[in-house]
Chain A
């Protein structure tokens, strides 16, 4: 129905506008806040495709934890504004529009055949619905157990790595 499209367009516009804002802001703090906006709108879009769990996790983990970490680090590294901005190879910035244009063109070219695919109807009960917590949890601990365990090791590594790297000398 038409209101689905309207919702989509609203959130899409917000996402793209926030994404562009990341590039347009000079201060990294404002850029990070723009990214949070993008993440939130993306979360809404996840909901429109019935991916409830992922939508929630997006907000909790991505916008809530990762971006907060970013903000902490930005505030920790308090770069004063009046430092001279050295830029080498100034010509790179003029490559932005051509590359973007090329990519958009390629995208349009690829997406034309699949214009008319629409969302399937969701069955009612949670066991068979895709995107519910139940389905994700079941799949995670049965079919995809190995990636799950490896991911935990990965988090451990990241933990240790972050601690080692950020340590001051002599500690």
Chain B
């Protein structure tokens, strides 16, 4: 069924950024800014060009579900365990490398303007290139272990880049928080992979007879479906594997309860937030889930958990995003919320819809972050929206591109976000994976979240670009700027190096939706192209209509399906327009509306974690591990050994007193003992 070809150019896609990172890391300190920017952007450009080239070259084969391999070397081969350094190009990874490299390239270009004048310019771009290498390895890997290498690599680069301004304490803390919380998720991921190896005997994705390996997904495909029961989670079967892998995705993609690192990660430079925490790293979890779709479709309990957590996260984060004043934090919570949508999609079996949302989200979220970066630079490193306002006069192009992003994320008809969000809502409503009331409930939660998304994004736009110009009222320095050299002045538009990426991404945000136009809107001529393409690598759709498709009565099902889909389409549009309209009116009138303090303080989740987890561990470490075990037991043992030797020596010292009499006494004693021994014997 799957034909295997080799494609040696795949290796170059991942090696180019690695070489860039090496050059910049070793020699970057002595290079000028222009050269550094040139090297960094050109390596990513090379990866992008190659990705596009390979996509279009193998387009036909990928559409039929064929896969391409690039085998580099056998990394580990011990007993029955084998892990190779080999890359896989199929429809899923082809889509991913396309948008990753494309968006990353424009973000790199933006960053050459944004980071200008910073002393660690070379370090920044070295880390960014290293990140690209890790992310591409993650996506192009053909077994779980190599994916884990990329997984950890992106976590590392996230740490390095969040803590880029390492002289600031809160940046360092945020970096540590990100890494540690990620680690917790990674623990689950590693356990899941190990369990998968135990059960399936392999950690490769697919069979490859040329190398003599069989794939885990082929094994999963042949398994019986696990029951939909809570006990299945702990049974040690496919559901356990799926849940453990999802724990890893929770950490990496910031779902409940491991999302707490993402808002703090905004302490990094804005291009980092755009690239890592909007477009790429956080979508790695979704990629992993989609990749392992065969495992998930056989574990309905895991899918239900994923759907519920996804929906809950989406709603939760949207409510918090409504109450934030920092422009980047609003976008961070928005990212968490949109990621919830993606997991909701995967949880109801619509893996294709989830990936489609990843695809469109990358464009409009990166656009929004870069736009926010442009605003921040224009406002001389001011991030608090209370001190912005009326900027459309000063930053025309930024404003226009941000408007495009705003419309896309709110789900305005015919823009990219509209298509992907509507797809998710439709598939949720009609899913057969979950038992009866759940699909409707989850759809309702997702719809409310969509409303809230429209409202808070409108709030962001209105507060920033419309209304009174509040930046003249306050002092020049703000508490949230990373490098405040607070000189007041009028906001200015950003340089061309920053504006061109904005324009390109805005065009993307508007247009890319059209690759995934649902069937009904294309008047029945072509199917949903994106969906069709993706489903060569990902498990099939599972709506109530598709399940029934296998049976007869095709025409009536088709009409029924169309009717439901039209209704939901209109509902989504209505939600988007109502949300945007309400937000516009409300926030135009009262821009500085005070949100409820519970929301503004993020439901005090961080404080709860601190009290419940961090402080006990810290106190335990100090009192038990440090003061007791380390000082008294370990040091006591070591010092005690020394003291024992000292004592011993001190006692033995008296034997060598220089006094002849004591020597003789000892000789006599010895003689007595020897005689006594012989006597007794």
Direct contact of A and B (CB under 8 A): yes
Q: Measuring CB to CB, which residues of chain A are less than 8 angstroms from any residue of chain B?
A: 88-89, 92, 95, 99, 102-103, 106, 109-110
- B 630-666 contacts with A by CB, 8 A: 657, 659, 661-662, 665
Q: How far is the CB of B502 from chain A (nearest CB, A)?
A: 95
CB of A89 within 8 A of CB of B659, answer: yes
Dominant secondary structure of chain B at its interface with chain A: helix
From A92, A95, A106, contact of B679 by CB (8 A): A106
Q: Which of B659, B661, B668 contacts A99 (CB 8 A)?
A: B668
Chain B residues with Cβ below 8 Å from A92 are 661-662, 665
Binding stretch for chain A, among B99-107, B326-334, B408-416, B669-677: B669-677
Collect the chain B residues with CB atoms within 8 Å of residue A103's CB: 672, 675
CA distance A122 to B178 in the complex (A): 110
A92 to B659: give the CA distance in the assembly, Å: 11
Task: Report A-chain residues with C-beta under 8 Å of the C-beta of B657.
Answer: 88-89
Judged by DSSP, the binding face of A is: helix
- Asked whether B679 lies within 8 Å of A99 as measured between CB atoms, the reply is no
Residues in A whose Cβ lies below 8 Å from that of B676: 102, 106
B residues contacting A by CB (< 8 A) are 657, 659, 661-662, 665, 668-669, 672, 675-676, 679
Checking B662, B669, B672 against A89 with a beta-carbon cut-off of 8 angstroms, the contacting residue is: B662
Point out the residues of chain A lying under 8 angstroms from B672, CB to CB: 99, 102-103, 106
Q: Is the CB of B662 within 8 A of A99?
A: no
CA distance in complex: A106, B680 (Å): 9
10 examples of A-B residue contacts, CB within 8 angstroms: A88-B659, A89-B659, A89-B661, A89-B662, A92-B665, A99-B668, A103-B675, A106-B672, A106-B676, A106-B679
Do A99 and B675 touch across chains, with their CB atoms under 8 A apart? no
Number of A-B contacts (CB under 8 A): 24
B659 and A95 contacting across the interface, CB-CB below 8 Å? no
Nearest CB in chain B: distance from A57 CB, A: 28
**In the complex, A102 Cα to B673 Cα: how many Å?**
10
Least Cβ distance of B679 to chain A in Å? 5
Compute how far the CA of A143 lies from the CA of B676 in the bound complex, rounded to whole angstroms: 35
Alpha-carbon gap, A102 to B669, bound state (A):
10
Q: How far is the CA of A110 from the CA of B680 in the complex (A)?
A: 10
A92 to B668, CA, bound (A): 12
Bound Cα distance from A79 to B672, whole angstroms: 35
CA distance A88 to B669 in the complex (A): 19
Q: In the complex, A103→B668 CA distance in Å?
A: 10
Assuming the contacts A88-B657, A99-B672, asked whether A109 and B665 have C-beta atoms less than 8 A apart, the reply is no
Q: How far is the CA of A89 from the CA of B656 in the complex (A)?
A: 12
Nearest 3 CB-CB pairings of A with B: A106-B679, A109-B679, A102-B672
Q: Which residue of B lies closest to A96 (CB)?
A: B665
B661 / chain A contacts, CB cutoff of 8 Å: 89, 92
Complex formed: what's the CA distance from A109 to B672 in Å?
Answer: 13
Chain B residues lying within 8 Å of A89, measured Cβ to Cβ, are 657, 659, 661-662
Is A95 a contact of B665 with CB atoms below 8 Å?
yes
Rounded to whole angstroms, the CA-CA distance of A128 and B16 in the bound complex is 115
Complex CA distance for A106 and B676, rounded to whole angstroms: 7
Given contacts A88-B659, A99-B669, A106-B672, 7 further A-B contacts (CB under 8 A): A89-B662, A92-B661, A92-B662, A99-B665, A99-B668, A103-B672, A103-B675
Q: How far is the CA of A76 from the CA of B545 in the complex (A)?
A: 131
Chain B residue nearest to A99 (CB atoms) is B668
Residue from B659, B668, B669, B675 in contact with A106 in the complex, judged by beta carbons closer than 8 Å: B675
Q: A99-B668, A99-B672 are in contact. Are A110 and B662 (CB under 8 A)?
A: no
Closest CB in chain A relative to B4 CB, distance in Å: 92
Docked complex Cα distance between A88 and B662 (Å): 10
Q: Are B679 and A110 in contact (CB under 8 A)?
A: yes
- Min Cβ gap A137→B in Å is 35
Residues of chain B contacted by A110 (CB below 8 angstroms): 679
Contacts of A102 in B (CB 8 A): 672, 676
- How far apart are B140's CB and chain A's nearest CB, in angstroms? 84
Residues of A within 8 A of B668 (CB): 99
Contacts of B662 in A (CB 8 A): 89, 92
Question: Min CB distance, B660 to chain A, in Å?
Answer: 11
Residues of A within 8 A of B665 (CB): 92, 95, 99
- Nearest-Cβ distance from residue B655 to partner chain A, whole angstroms: 11
Whole-angstrom distance from the CB of A158 to the nearest CB of chain B?
A: 22
B84 to chain A, nearest CB (A): 78
Give every chain A residue within 8 A of B669 (Cβ-Cβ): 99
Contacts of A106 in B (CB 8 A): 672, 675-676, 679
CA distance A99 to B669 in the complex (A): 7
For the complex, give the distance between the alpha carbons of A62 and B255 in Å: 107
Complex: how many Å from CA A102 to CA B671? 11
Expressed in whole angstroms, the Cα–Cα distance for A88 and B660 within the complex equals 11
Q: Which of chain A's residues has its CB closest to B672's CB? A: A102
Taking the nearest CB of chain A, how far is it from the CB of B375, in angstroms? 91
Chain A residue with the shortest CB-CB distance to B671 = A103
Q: How far is the CA of A89 from the CA of B662 in the complex (A)?
A: 8
Residue of B nearest to A88 (CB): B659
Distance A5 CA – B659 CA, assembled complex (angstroms) = 43
What chain A residues lie within 8 Å of B679 (beta carbons)?
106, 109-110
Whole-angstrom CA separation of A106 from B661 in the bound complex: 23
Which B residues are in CB contact (< 8 Å) with A95?
A: 665
Complex alpha-carbon distance, A85 and B316, angstroms? 95
- Shortest CB–CB separation between residue A134 and chain B, in angstroms? 37
Q: What is the CB-to-nearest-CB distance from A22 to chain B, in angstroms, rounded to a whole number?
A: 16
> Smallest Cβ distance from A157 to chain B, in angstroms?
23
